[in-house]
Amino acid sequence: MRIWVTGIGMVSPLGRDANSTFAALTAGTRAFGPVTLFDPTGCRSSVAAEVPDFAVSEVAPAEVAEGWSRTDAMSVLAAREALAQAKLDPAVDPVDLIFGGTTAGMLETEGLLADMHQAVAARRPLARMLSHPLSATADRLRDSVAPFRRVRTLCSACSSGANALLLAAAWLRTGRSERVLAGGGDGLCRLTYTGFSCLGALATEACRPFDRDRAGLSMGEGAALLVVETEAAARARGVEPIVELRGWAVGAEAHHITNPEASGATAARVMGAALARGGLAPADIDYVNAHGTATRLNDQMEAQALAQCLGDRVGKVAVSSSKGQLGHTLGAAGAIEAAITALTVAEGVIPPNMGLVEPDPDLALDLVRVARQTRVRAAMSNSFGFGGSDVVLVFAAPDRFAEPGPVEPRPVFVTATGSVGALGVGGTALARSYVDPAGPAATSAVELDAAAHLDLARARRVDRVGRFCAVAMGEAMDAAGAAPAEPQLERFGAILGTAFGSVDDCSAFIHRVFAKGAKFASPVVFPSLLPSSPVAHASIYHGLKGPVFAPADLAATSESALVTAIELIAADEADAMLAGGVEQTSPITEAVLGPLCSNPGEAVGAGIRSEGSSVVLVESEASLTARAGKPVARVIWWTSWRGAPAAPLAGAPPPAELGTAAVFATRDDPVLEALLAGSSWADVPRHTTTRRAGTHEGAGGFAVAAAVSVLAAGELDAALVVGLAPDRGYALLLGAGSEVSTVSPS
């Protein structure tokens, strides 16, 4: 089954669309200039690649523009371009959406956040905070571009946009979707500019990837989205391919929160896996669009990795980094550079590596100095994120290589849960207590004795929310009966999300920058401020080398994580995944973001606000065999939806076919009632967690864990877990025992 790219949309510092960006790239244009979006005084640099003369008001409807970010506006333009090129009307042919980013509306909310550090009551124009959640951009895309069917938002720092495309490929390959709009966007903001500055990572002048005298990266901004669809779906619409999305792979270095693994071993492994996924060999690759940030460490690591992956072909394969022209666009980079790589194959023109004066003699690469007109059969795009989240995508000329075989979705099993919450720290056995109506109600804060569960010397950089994750993950692995070991670790990952990231820590960081100056920004705090930081810290702690990233979907974030993990295992992108969510007590979430992002009357916060982390360990049959593990439940069915589809649970087998069954959710409210009323699940018992777990955006993870725990105890045959947030929902059906049944999402 082939995957076709049929539309490309891009907004970059070099142009407002894909064609003008690519033309400027091949012409060697560099887009750097003085930072105008904020005052960079006190930073190591004052240049960046901004999208010139771009204003949110050009795109956002006037009546809601206050709640829009630059990230939103750029992403909307890119999405419209991609759909137009693909001749796609999502109202006619359903399209799913996967969006990757890191900072969403940070630029627009930084001033408010700085004020809120002193007093949450200082919140002024609340509407502006609507742009803050990472999931906000996907919401704008859905409101303003098209009624996308299924929507997912994720962050893996600077590989976010590439991970979105990887997940899209997994969906297409397993038949979960026929058509996905996937990519990423990130507007420039003080937080990341100041953060990279305090890490010593910013070059004073425009960056020089792979140069002997390279001295750091330059920041950029932008957005890119690509329409990817199955060949059959595109042919049915009579549409031609631009290129094939041919290979993809993701892995984590488990090394360091900011520094890349010097050997390049993980990056080389992921490159090799991406080629293998596409049935390609190094000899098939004619071009590599490098991550090439122009930091000393990245470029050296990447050259090492390329040498390991390409063998004696390194030095013969053309390599360039686009960051010497449009800067490092962070969460957008993986998508923008995927778009550039796709256009390189389609146009037969390799863009240059600008900023190169004297190539680093230690890096034996064929660096492109001026654009080359040449046939490009297949090309690779590298993306490496903070915490060592590496993603590699491969694009190929249509029909140039043999058609990859079809794949059957693999069965997925649940082996354990682990949690840190109102009832303490525990594994599978503890979680059933979260639906036990007896016992005391949750109190607000969770006390975690970190020293009792973690090696504090190794965990000293892991902040509180990261420690919640690390402890919950450790409990799940303990409960599963075996800590993962090599080589299983290479396909063992973690997806844990937060609804609003570490918003209070961002607020403190920015307040300090405003109060004391940018040069007093904290280098050890900054790497913990991205939405993916908690799961990255925890995965490094546990040495996990599979997919590591963070989803964000308001109060259904944990459910989003679990469903995504199941999808990756079903698609053979991973063998074991710890999946769930984490939230910590947050004055800004409690007072501002929580209420703002809930429907009136059903606000998260209606119960006692608590905190914690709950994860589920899901595994493939291969993983279970490798470690002689025993499942406690199997995944029978799952779904996710946006808006108000007619009968989202229609695909779920009726409880009568499954035996004794129950529904698990955080709370029983009119929305859940209405959802179940239209299904065969209306009359089964319901178990809720709010009383004992308290309420917070990650609380859905406790409902999932409780369901697993009850199934493990042999008290039920099947459990339907439902997670709801405004305009979105997830449902997951688990069955007791280990009998293999066909995975059948809908």
Catalytic site positions: 158, 291, 328
Q: Evaluate whether 701 touches 641 at the Cβ level (below 8 Å).
A: no
460 lies in the binding site for other proteins (CB under 8 A): yes
Candidates 68-76, 220-228, 520-528, 734-742 — which segment interacts with other proteins by CB under 8 A? 520-528
CA distance 153 to 136: 9
Least distance CB 543 / other proteins (angstroms): 17
Q: Evaluate whether 500 touches 133 at the Cβ level (below 8 Å).
A: yes
452 lies in the binding site for other proteins (CB under 8 A): no
Please list, residue by residue across 572-605, b when 16 or more beta carbons sit within 10 angstroms of its beta carbon and e when fewer do.
bbbbbbbbbbbbbbbebbbebbbebbbeeebbbb
User: Measured between alpha carbons, how far is residue 708 from residues 310, 437, 649, 721 in Å?
Assistant: 44, 17, 20, 10
The closest alpha carbon to 326, from 34, 32, 72, 73, belongs to: 32
Binding residue for other proteins (CB under 8 A) from 235, 237, 256, 377? Answer: 256
Binding residue for other proteins (CB under 8 A) from 147, 200, 643, 670? Answer: 200
Binding residue for other proteins (CB under 8 A) from 257, 431, 636, 699? Answer: 257
Report residue 476: phi and psi, to 5°: -65, -40
259 lies in the binding site for other proteins (CB under 8 A): yes
Question: Nearer Cβ to other proteins, position 126 or 450?
Answer: 450
Question: Nearer Cβ to other proteins, position 316 or 516?
Answer: 516
Question: Nearer Cβ to other proteins, position 201 or 234?
Answer: 201
Site for other proteins in 126-145 (CB under 8 A): none
628 lies in the binding site for other proteins (CB under 8 A): no
523 lies in the binding site for other proteins (CB under 8 A): yes
Least distance CB 251 / other proteins (angstroms): 22
412 lies in the binding site for other proteins (CB under 8 A): no
CA atoms within 13 A on the CB side of 104: 30
Q: Evaluate whether 304 touches 260 at the Cβ level (below 8 Å).
A: no
Candidates 14-22, 454-462, 536-544, 670-678 — which segment interacts with other proteins by CB under 8 A? 454-462
516 lies in the binding site for other proteins (CB under 8 A): yes
262 lies in the binding site for other proteins (CB under 8 A): no
519 lies in the binding site for other proteins (CB under 8 A): yes
Candidates 264-272, 360-368, 381-389, 452-460 — which segment interacts with other proteins by CB under 8 A? 452-460
- Residue 485: helix, strand or coil by DSSP? coil
User: Measured between alpha carbons, how far is residue 706 from residues 38, 422, 488, 717 in Å?
Assistant: 47, 13, 27, 14
The DSSP secondary structure of 35-89, one letter per residue, reads: --SS--TTSS--EEB--TT--GGGTS-GGGGGG--HHHHHHHHHHHHHHHHTT--
CA distance 727 to 139: 9
CA distance 722 to 704: 9
Cis omega (within 30 of 0) for bond into 487: yes
263 lies in the binding site for other proteins (CB under 8 A): no
Least distance CB 527 / other proteins (angstroms): 8
Question: Nearer Cβ to other proteins, position 120 or 450?
Answer: 450
Question: Nearer Cβ to other proteins, position 369 or 458?
Answer: 458
714 lies in the binding site for other proteins (CB under 8 A): no
Question: Nearer Cβ to other proteins, position 202 or 574?
Answer: 202
Q: Evaluate whether 530 touches 538 at the Cβ level (below 8 Å).
A: no
- Residue 577: helix, strand or coil by DSSP? strand
CA distance 117 to 439: 36
Candidates 127-135, 517-525, 666-674, 691-699 — which segment interacts with other proteins by CB under 8 A? 517-525
Q: Evaluate whether 411 touches 288 at the Cβ level (below 8 Å).
A: no
- AA letter at 658: L
212 lies in the binding site for other proteins (CB under 8 A): no
Question: Nearer Cβ to other proteins, position 517 or 654?
Answer: 517
Candidates 24-32, 252-260, 326-334, 409-417 — which segment interacts with other proteins by CB under 8 A? 252-260
CA 262 to chain centre: 24
User: Measured between alpha carbons, how far is residue 266 from residues 272, 447, 549 in Å?
Assistant: 10, 36, 16
User: Measured between alpha carbons, how far is residue 500 from residues 158, 361, 531, 596 in Å?
Assistant: 18, 44, 7, 12
Least distance CB 142 / other proteins (angstroms): 38
Binding residue for other proteins (CB under 8 A) from 10, 25, 98, 199? Answer: 199
Q: Where are the alpha helices (DSSP H) in 249-375?
A: 265-277, 296-310, 323-326, 333-347
The closest alpha carbon to 675, from 595, 730, 603, 745, belongs to: 730
Least distance CB 371 / other proteins (angstroms): 35
Candidates 104-112, 117-125, 163-171, 450-458 — which segment interacts with other proteins by CB under 8 A? 450-458
Which pairing describes strands 96-100 and 151-155: parallel, antiparallel, or unpaired? parallel
Site for other proteins in 525-564 (CB under 8 A): 527
Binding residue for other proteins (CB under 8 A) from 27, 121, 122, 456? Answer: 456
Candidates 256-264, 345-353, 388-396, 570-578 — which segment interacts with other proteins by CB under 8 A? 256-264
Least distance CB 83 / other proteins (angstroms): 42
646 lies in the binding site for other proteins (CB under 8 A): no
- Here the tokens at position 255 are 């090394």
CA distance 65 to 73: 10
Largest CA distance in the chain: 72
375 lies in the binding site for other proteins (CB under 8 A): no
**What CA dihedral angle connects 318, 254, 523 and 34, to 10 degrees?**
20
CA atoms within 13 A on the CB side of 178: 11
Question: Nearer Cβ to other proteins, position 395 or 526?
Answer: 526
522 lies in the binding site for other proteins (CB under 8 A): yes
Least distance CB 254 / other proteins (angstroms): 16
Binding mask 461-500 for other proteins (x = CB under 8 A): x---------------------------------------
CA distance 121 to 591: 8
Least distance CB 538 / other proteins (angstroms): 16
Least distance CB 459 / other proteins (angstroms): 9
Question: Nearer Cβ to other proteins, position 300 or 353?
Answer: 300
CA distance 55 to 264: 40
CA distance 184 to 418: 31
Count residues contacting other proteins (CB under 8 A)?
20
Three-state secondary structure along 118-158? HCHHHCCCHHHHCCCCCCHHHHHHHHHCCCCCCEEEEEECE
Candidates 88-96, 257-265, 482-490, 651-659 — which segment interacts with other proteins by CB under 8 A? 257-265
Binding residue for other proteins (CB under 8 A) from 520, 599, 657, 683? Answer: 520
Question: Nearer Cβ to other proteins, position 90 or 527?
Answer: 527
Least distance CB 523 / other proteins (angstroms): 4
Least distance CB 212 / other proteins (angstroms): 15
Least distance CB 427 / other proteins (angstroms): 25
Candidates 47-55, 523-531, 655-663, 725-733 — which segment interacts with other proteins by CB under 8 A? 523-531
121 lies in the binding site for other proteins (CB under 8 A): no
Residues at the site binding other proteins, with contacts judged by CB under 8 A: 198-200, 256-259, 451, 456-457, 460-461, 516, 519-524, 527
